[in-house]
Structure 1
Amino acid sequence: MITPAWCQTMARYNAWQNQWMFQAADALSPGERRRDRGAFFGGIEGTLSHLLWGDMLWIARFDGGPGPLKVNTSQATAEAYDWPALIAERPKLDARIASWAWSIGQDDLEGDLSWISGSTGAEMTCSRALCVMQIFNHQTHHRGQVHAMLTAAGCATEPTDLPYMPGEIPEWR
């Protein structure tokens, strides 16, 4: 279903999108970043905090490294990181995701993954490939929300389509 090369492309895409998105958000005042814009996690900062939290949760399941700081509640994920921490942690996490993507083989994408859900306390088991798709789909979903909020706030935004990603995407020649 998915391959290590797909994971590598998506890791590159993740880092590319986060770089410009955080630069655009950083140009806003703290009040504008935190302003409730009707998204599930309120505003831009809350959504980006949730996204960092979710990425840390999933990559920890994949690479066995450290997970997020707080438990799974809507409020905690939106407030888990203040803006300076978000700015500092995002590129480190993107590098961690990329390192994982470049270290895996096809066998690492097969079989099941099990974990204890922080929100329900129940043991969960899911296809490893589906879990890997989840991290990248979750990123794209919430960055789409942030893109819309940045646009509404008057920020200049960048393209979000994969063919515009800097560097070559060999599959799309």
Structure 2
Amino acid sequence: MTRAEHISLMATYNQWMNLKIYEAARGLSDEALLADRSAFFGSIIGTLNHLTLGDTVWLKRFAEHPAQYAALTPLSILDTPKRLDQLVFANIRELQAQRVWLDQIILDWAQSVSEPDLDQRLRYHNMRGVAADKNFYSLVTHFFNHQTHHRGQVTTLLTQAGRDVGDTDLLRLID
């Protein structure tokens, strides 16, 4: 499997897992989703917002890659989040609609990434405005790892709230 194929696999995994998580989350009341569960982002909805905001920040950075990915053009309508702990969507239905839209963009973008793209460096500014210049493939790996990390937290919170997400193994998607 090439690195580009691996990125497509991770985008597919991201979409699959988010569908499972949101299906489980929709079985809870708005109050249960907003309840402070002592997680880093407080609640289930807080953690899901963080994931959406984090993905938006990274994808907007990826849109600055010299390859100029057309699949990321729709993100130009979004403001870059100022903080990653904002509760932009307090309603699971609105957040899920944004997540579905964003996941399709991620999938389309991932399928457009080429091997030479991954060897380039990406210049960007972090949330504090500090300039960075890093290997693009390493940043993409971080992007998907960040998703997996926080989805694991959400899965735990959902389980504690009595909702079963089901199988979460990437192995299910590997031939």
Range class of TM-score, shorter chain:
0.7 to 0.9
Aligned to 1:107: 116
Distance in 2, matches of 1:31 and 1:60, equals 32
Aligned to 2:172: 164
CA RMSD of aligned residues (A): 1.8
Amino acid at match of 2:82: N
Amino acid at match of 1:113: L
1:59-96 deviation digits (Å, cap 9, x = unpaired): 122235326545332542xx122323211111111110
Query: What count of residue pairs does the alignment treat as equivalent?
Result: 164
Distance in 1, matches of 2:19 and 2:94, equals 15
Distance in 1, matches of 2:84 and 2:40, equals 9
1:1-173 to 2 correspondence within 5 Å?
3-64=3-64, 65=73, 66=75, 69=79, 71-76=81-86, 79-83=87-91, 84-118=93-127, 120-165=128-173, 169-170=174-175
Aligned to 2:68: none
Percent identity, aligned pairs only?
37
2:118 touches 2:136 (CA, 8 Å); kept in 1?
Answer: yes
Change (3 A) 1:105 1:74: closer
1:50 touches 1:80 (CA, 8 Å); kept in 2?
Answer: no
Aligned to 2:70: none
1:49 touches 1:81 (CA, 8 Å); kept in 2?
Answer: yes
TM value normalised by structure 2: 0.87
Change (3 A) 1:162 1:74: closer
Change (3 A) 1:61 1:11: same
Shift of 1:56: 1.1
Shift of 1:126: 1.3
Query: Which runs of 5 or more structure 1 residues have no equivalent in the other structure?
Result: none
Query: Which runs of 5 or more structure 2 residues have no equivalent in the other structure?
Result: 65-72
1:41 touches 1:74 (CA, 8 Å); kept in 2?
Answer: no
